Amino acid sequence: MSIAKRMPAIDDRMALRLSEAAMALGISQRTLWGLVKAGEIKSFRASKNIHLIETDELRRWMAQKTEEGIGR
């Protein structure tokens, strides 16, 4: 089973806050923010205080990393 399919908690959500996304990926918020800043993961600001990442974007990034051999 691929890593992208092992995220049942987010299946019904369209987007996650950065803290939720970091927890789902098993990485720190600082690491996730670095990936966003580097352009590896796309995010958007829903309001002044809410920064979100679409769950499809998380799955895309994880699938890419799995293909590269990272995260196995």
pLDDT per position as a tens digit, 26-52: 999 999 999 999 999 999 999 999 999
pLDDT value at residue 69: 82
Exposed, middle or buried, 65 (CB in 10 Å: 0-12/13-18/19+)?
A: middle
Return the bridge partners of 45, or none.
Answer: 51
Q: For residues 56 and 44, what is the distance between their CA atoms, to the nearest angstrom?
A: 13
Q: For residue 65, is pLDDT > 70?
A: yes
Q: Which two tokens stand for residue 28?
A: 């720190």
DSSP assigned state of 39: T
CATH code for the domain defined by 13-67:
1.10.10
**Using alpha carbons only, what angle is made at residue 33 by residues 17 and 26, rounded to the nearest 5 degrees?**
70
pLDDT value at residue 68: 84
Q: Where are the domains of the chain?
A: 13-67
pLDDT value at residue 12: 76
Taking residues 5-16, report their average pLDDT: 68
